[in-house]
């Protein structure tokens, strides 16, 4: 219960890694605001999983690429848990499709950059006034932000690289206020993301090339996030931390 009494906001908390993060934080004692967008059914399942560990949470619908929706998450958070937020986890993101340089168009570019980068910027901006000394922000970057990603993922990789740079910069800006900010960089994690966008033979090849000889799972990423959110990581900020089974190193 290392997060007992703390309030945590998680964007993209409806499924996969976002859900695992919500459940882990709740299990550690945090009161959780779980944002979702695509599926109310997914959100209901997240709430049930939190309830199963005797956690306390609310679910808030929002498109985190829109300032008005972000402001609604802030309002719902204040209404449920008061005016103080201790933990912010920016999970929301997506690849959406693999497109070559010839296939790229402005609409696709805006979609990927908005969901992965713009959301991180403006969700953090909106919640910053509620965060004080000892607060922790954890962004979601990607191994793709380090190595450029696979074929057709140039904009996704670039957006995650932007998250990594933002994390480093804001660590300098927020550190004097006692607020820490880090990012996690997942590699091949067994989620719907790879079910949708990575071929089975590629997944097998990557797993076999990984020193631990397997894919990761969402709960392992959630464990890392919970550590970074806790006071146990009180002297860690500005880092983009790999979690990929040893496939790639910083």
Which tens digits make up the pLDDT trace of 101-131?
999 999 999 999 999 999 999 999 999 999 9
CA dihedral 123→43→97→238, nearest 10 degrees, is 40
Alpha helices in 31-93 (DSSP H): 40-52, 67-81
Task: Give the whole-angstrom CA distance, residue 142 versus residue 91.
Answer: 11
Q: What is the pLDDT of residue 221?
A: 98
Q: How many CA atoms lie within 13 A of 156 on its CB side?
A: 21
**Domains of the chain with bracketed CATH:** 7-243 (3.40.50.720)
Q: Tell me the percentage of the chain whose pLDDT exceeds 90.
A: 88
Reported as type and span, the H/E element at residue 120 is helix 119-127
Predicted confidence band at 41 (pLDDT cuts at 50, 70, 90)?
very high
Q: What is the pLDDT of residue 197?
A: 64
The partner residues of 89 in beta bridges, in order of sequence, read 10, 138
Predicted confidence band at 203 (pLDDT cuts at 50, 70, 90)?
confident
Q: What is the pLDDT of residue 206?
A: 86
Residue 151 token pair: 């074929």
Which tens digits make up the pLDDT trace of 3-31?
999 999 999 999 999 999 999 999 999 99
Which tens digits make up the pLDDT trace of 213-224?
998 999 999 999
- Are 87 and 229 in contact by the 8 Å Cβ rule? The answer is yes
Q: What is the pLDDT of residue 185?
A: 98
Asked whether residue 89 carries a pLDDT value surpassing 80, the answer given is yes
Annotation marks residue 156 as catalytic: yes
* Annotated catalytic residue within 36, 61, 109, 156: 156
> Residue range 147-163: average pLDDT?
96
Predicted confidence band at 43 (pLDDT cuts at 50, 70, 90)?
very high
Q: Give the mean pLDDT of the chain.
A: 95
Look at residues 83, 73, 55 and name the one whose alpha carbon lies nearest to residue 12: 73
Question: pTM of the predicted model, to two decimals?
Answer: 0.95
- Are 14 and 36 in contact by the 8 Å Cβ rule? The answer is yes
Predicted confidence band at 194 (pLDDT cuts at 50, 70, 90)?
confident
Q: What is the pLDDT of residue 198?
A: 73
Predicted confidence band at 69 (pLDDT cuts at 50, 70, 90)?
very high
Task: Give the whole-angstrom CA distance, residue 169 versus residue 102.
Answer: 33
Look at residues 183, 10, 190 and name the one whose alpha carbon lies nearest to residue 92: 10
Whole-angstrom CA distances from 92 to 115, 121, 250 are: 7, 12, 23
């Amino acid at each position: 219960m290392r997060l007992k009494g703390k309030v945590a906001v998680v964007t993209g908390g409806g499924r996969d890694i976002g859900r695992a993060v919500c459940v882990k934080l709740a299990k550690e004692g945090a009161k959780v605001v779980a944002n979702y967008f695509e599926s109310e059914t997914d959100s209901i399942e997240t709430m049930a999983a939190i309830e199963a560990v005797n956690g306390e949470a609310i679910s808030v619908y929002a498109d985190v690429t829109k300032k008005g929706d972000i402001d609604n998450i802030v309002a719902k958070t204040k209404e449920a848990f008061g005016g103080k937020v201790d933990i912010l986890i920016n999970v929301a993101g997506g690849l959406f499709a693999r497109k070559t340089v010839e296939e790229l168009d402005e609409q696709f570019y805006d979609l990927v950059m908005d969901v992965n980068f713009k959301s991180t910027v403006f969700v953090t901006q909106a919640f910053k006034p509620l965060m004080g000394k000892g607060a922790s922000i954890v962004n979601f970057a990607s191994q793709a932000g380090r190595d450029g990603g696979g074929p057709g993922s140039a904009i996704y990789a670039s957006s995650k690289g932007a998250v990594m740079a933002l994390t480093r910069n804001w660590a300098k800006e927020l550190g004097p206020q006692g607020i820490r900010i880090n990012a996690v960089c997942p590699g091949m994690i067994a989620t719907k993301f790879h079910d949708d966008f990575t071929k089975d033979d590629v997944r097998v090849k990557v797993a076999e090339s990984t020193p631990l000889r397997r894919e990761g799972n969402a709960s392992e990423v959630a464990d890392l996030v919970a550590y970074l959110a806790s006071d146990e990581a009180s002297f860690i900020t500005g880092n983009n931390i790999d979690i990929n089974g040893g496939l790639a190193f910083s």
